[in-house]
Amino acid sequence: MARKVFISILGTSFYSSCKYVDESIEFESSETRFIQQATLEYIEASKWSEGDAAYFLLTDLARTSNWNESIIQRKNIFTKENIPYRGLQAILKEMHLPIAPENIPIPKGENEKEMWEIFNKLFDALQEEDELYFDLTHSFRYLPMLVLVLGNYAKFLKHATVKHISYGNYEARDKMTNRAPIINLLPLSVLQDWTFAAGQFLDSGNVKKLANLSNETLKPILKEAKGTNEEAKNLKKFINDLSSVIDERTLCRGISIVKSDSLKELKKDASKIEKSFIEVLNPVFNKIKESTQDFDENVNVQNGFLAAQWCLHNGLYQQAITIFHENIITLLCDEENLNWTNEDERSVVSIAFHVDKNHAETWNLHVKADATEDEINAKIEKVKHVFTNCHFQLLYDTFSQISDIRNDFNHSGMRNNPMSAHKLRKEIEKVMQSVETILKS
């Protein structure tokens, strides 16, 4: 089971007491000098288990100023008088938490070497799949950035999850009530996650991270709102349909690509996403929506060529050449009024590409063995008509090259004179560009 891990940096300042509040969830902490105590109450650490952890990063001065149990007084910075003052270590003991708080000694962080020492000490304390709860209140200088970067680093290398980031804003307290707000900074981490996932999709076509985030982030929102949060609901459906569209391309579902049912649903969803649950995410999702604009939401053979180009752009070379190869047959079937979803009808175009048009006696070798003479003659007449198609004539030689490339791919190059990886990629790019030039002209 994943550990819950609280992480906080303790400063050296003289801290005045107040109550920390989050009015959005009607939370109010105990009266305390230490935001760490308030935050542990905020995240309900009293309900954690013995296997969980709380790490406090301390410089030597922070240890003697604010941590040690032996601290009983400090000089008030305003009155210059010694007053009762207790170290955080003693206060944590009185909280009777199920976890044993641990302190991690850190240097002052005055140079790059010390910065990496702090980073490595904290990273080494983490375990696989930890759930991280950060308090950034007393993170001096660059440490808030270090903690945020460490969170992303741990997500990648230790499959950690950032569950909480907060900041106790003592300076913004209500001086009449002596209550200070706890600011929830987790949306900044969530924004990072969504931005990285969207960037991954736009750069490589990989939609997995977006789909995972949709489940992790939106499912709890919809559960709490009992499905009534329209923004979250629309966004979740958009991501689900985007996954379907991308699956059709990566798994070479030609009929679905051309018919565009999933794409039509995706574009309908996209029109509903006017704003997301985090406002600054809106431009991110606009970028994703823009990536679908060139595709026709109606039945259109051109969607097949666009899907092949999308695969090529995203390094999915086998999918690119497979979809492109089959879509040429689809195009000619469409132009010849043949049913392009029917395997037998598609074979008419395939036969035309593979036979010698000057030796008709060999054509029936490509017709089903159990076909009647009338069926054979009918198919031969269709093949003859394909020969007259101008696109067929222009694409005849190129189609043979594409077939050879596809075979090289499908047989993993396990044949005589296989192409090198570099040449294979270049040949795919060249023949696809050649066909597009022919079709545009």
The pLDDT assigned to 206 comes to: 92
C-alpha 288/C-alpha 15 separation (Å) is 47
The pLDDT assigned to 288 comes to: 87
The pLDDT assigned to 414 comes to: 93
Report yes or no: 165 and 185 within 8 Å, Cβ to Cβ: yes
pLDDT digits (tens, 9 = 90+) for 176-192: 999 999 999 888 888 88
pLDDT digits (tens, 9 = 90+) for 133-176: 999 998 777 788 888 889 889 999 999 999 999 999 999 999 99
pLDDT digits (tens, 9 = 90+) for 373-410: 788 788 888 988 999 999 999 999 899 999 999 999 88
The pLDDT assigned to 359 comes to: 66
The pLDDT assigned to 427 comes to: 93
pLDDT digits (tens, 9 = 90+) for 34-72: 999 999 999 999 999 999 999 999 999 999 999 999 999
Fill in the DSSP letter of residue 174.
B
pLDDT digits (tens, 9 = 90+) for 247-302: 999 999 999 999 999 999 999 988 888 777 677 778 888 888 888 899 999 999 99
Question: What confidence category does residue 360 fall into, taking pLDDT thresholds of 50, 70 and 90?
Answer: low
Question: What confidence category does residue 369 fall into, taking pLDDT thresholds of 50, 70 and 90?
Answer: low
Q: How many CB atoms lie within 10 A of CB 248?
A: 23
Half-sphere exposure of 176 (CA within 13 A, CB side): 0
C-alpha 183/C-alpha 165 separation (Å) is 9
Classify residue 413 by burial, with Cβ atoms within 10 Å: 0-12, 13-18, 19+.
middle
N-to-C CA span, the chain: 62
Chain-centre distance of CA 182, in angstroms? 29
pLDDT digits (tens, 9 = 90+) for 302-328: 999 999 999 999 999 999 999 999 999
pLDDT digits (tens, 9 = 90+) for 15-28: 999 999 999 889 99
Element (H, E) at 103: strand 102-105
The pLDDT assigned to 320 comes to: 96
Classify residue 386 by burial, with Cβ atoms within 10 Å: 0-12, 13-18, 19+.
buried
C-alpha 367/C-alpha 34 separation (Å) is 83
The pLDDT assigned to 365 comes to: 54
Site of tokens 């550990």: 3
The pLDDT assigned to 111 comes to: 86
Fill in the DSSP letter of residue 292.
T
| Global model pTM greater than 0.85 | no
Q: Where is pLDDT greater, at 222 or 198? A: 198
Report yes or no: 307 and 415 within 8 Å, Cβ to Cβ: no
C-alpha 215/C-alpha 388 separation (Å) is 53
Report yes or no: 85 and 66 within 8 Å, Cβ to Cβ: no
Mean pLDDT, the chain, integer:
90
Report yes or no: 167 and 43 within 8 Å, Cβ to Cβ: no
The pLDDT assigned to 370 comes to: 72
C-alpha 364/C-alpha 383 separation (Å) is 11
C-alpha 216/C-alpha 214 separation (Å) is 6
Report yes or no: 243 and 201 within 8 Å, Cβ to Cβ: no
